[in-house]
Structure 1
């Protein structure tokens, strides 16, 4: 890349653009432009029911509607492509997805590879051989407790048309499960602060087998996969499997693999190493 790129960041489940603020500050101090995306129904477009406030009204929280109902992966992808079209006007674009955000950046890469100069997964889903639901049944995910969010589930997803989680719960078991899954290496205050940046609602559409990476389009984009070495949400074994599958799909375009120490969220709370790594990617 001859011109300094714009980094476009895509958040994971229940998260939003606010997650990237510390990292964006570090990148700005290193001289790099960045834009953090709020997918539809996220950020200031999210629903925070009155029942979610303190004191909480749990029966009401289980039934209040949320505006992320009906939001699909196609909606997320269309929104992201609109951002990429604008970012591309100023030069190269590095598209970065974290966690569930990997599904959306993969779909964007399938649809508009011309808008992306490098695609980067940070412990993010990059579905190749299976869809994401399928990966959860695989041995690499055996130690991941799929019921950790269920400990704070609010309402019936089928009735609400969305997945609602009470991140403001005081239930010690639920908090311990969140801590283990996302932030075992953060201190108590850091963990609670990040938990309070989450929104309660997430869409139900995590993609299907039709949304897996396509060699003819997505496969043309230079690709980086950043492993999070202590991640308990998408364990390193699964991250490594996703890298292997991507490289098998595009043997002439192998992944540039990097590793950051820490949990699923540490790189966002202590962003200096990640910012330095992204500065290196800008020179590729």
Structure 2
């Protein structure tokens, strides 16, 4: 029986960004389902102050629907989906970027629901908490700090991260593009920016949410490297792979590489869809 791909998005994102990939998967005869984590998609907070003309001072104080959402909440949402999908056959759980934290937590809790887990340039913490990886040498050349240019509000007071992705600041936009879609056109970049939501939850888990050998480690796993990613450089992606392989040497990652920045594979998804289709047929 053909597996179903369950897709988990990254930070400030939603199921919407997977639509082109799902279309390509469908054209190749594969079922897929994209999950909205709590507070994402149509559950997201979009204040009138986020529209044009913007009022950033007021926007910084608008309560967020994602405040208080935890990694455990994210995992519970995905587990609920997997329990239903699993009734129809094998499941391949796919996470991108920050979504890797969620799928790792899910795999720790319910490995019985997953037939293969796939990380696409995603966080798969083993030795450190995710926040600590940002201080490691492999992230020294990362452009992820570009996000700071659009941050508004005090996260501790708001209970969430809030970014102004509708900024007109040319320097901030240039930093975003270089970090996340340097290999795309300006038009593609602005279109993708308009799929982002302003708020993201704060909780990225702790030591208990790192990959566990006796649960996560029992699932066949794949890591898809993005060779042109400057927000999570290949050196850090390779570290994720090494740590996972060291944790479960008898169940190493199947490793593939796409020539892509952090987001291009979602804008031009055919190579990624073909790669995933190949994984499903293995």
Q: Please report the TM-score for the alignment, with normalisation by the length of structure 1.
A: 0.98
Aligned-residue offset at 1:147: 3.4
Given the alignment of the two structures, is residue 225 of structure 1 paired with residue 242 of structure 2, yes or no? no
1:131 aligns to what? 129
Q: Which moved more, 1:176-185 or 1:34-43?
A: 176-185
The whole-number CA distance in structure 2 between the counterparts of 1:257 and 1:148 is: 28
SS at match of 2:88: coil
2:98 aligns to what? 100
Report if the CA contact (8 A) 2:164-2:198 is conserved.
yes
Aligned-residue offset at 1:145: 4.2
1:6 aligns to what? 4
Structure 2 segments unaligned to the other structure (5+ residues): none
Q: Please report the TM-score for the alignment, with normalisation by the length of structure 2.
A: 0.99
The whole-number CA distance in structure 1 between the counterparts of 2:221 and 2:78 is: 18
Given the alignment of the two structures, is residue 172 of structure 1 paired with residue 170 of structure 2, yes or no? yes
Distance 1:248 1:69, change over 3 A: same
Alignment of 1:175-186 (within 5 A): 175-186=173-184
2:255 aligns to what? 257
Deviations 1:166-190 (A, max 9, x none): 0000111111111111100010110
Deviations 1:224-282 (A, max 9, x none): 00000000111000000000000000000010000000100000000000010011011
SS at match of 1:147: helix
Aligned-residue offset at 1:161: 0.5
Of 175, 192, 196, the match for 2:190? 192
Aligned-residue offset at 1:146: 5.0
The whole-number CA distance in structure 2 between the counterparts of 1:234 and 1:87 is: 31
2:146 aligns to what? 148
Of 59, 77, 80, the match for 1:79? 77
Runs of 4+ in structure 1 displaced over 2 angstroms?
none
1:23 aligns to what? 21
Distance 1:224 1:146, change over 3 A: closer
CA RMSD of aligned residues (A): 0.7
SS at match of 2:135: coil
Aligned residues: 282
Report if the CA contact (8 A) 2:61-2:158 is conserved.
yes
The whole-number CA distance in structure 2 between the counterparts of 1:29 and 1:201 is: 33
The whole-number CA distance in structure 2 between the counterparts of 1:47 and 1:162 is: 11
Deviations 1:101-154 (A, max 9, x none): 000000000000000000000000000010111100000000124532121111
1:38 aligns to what? 36
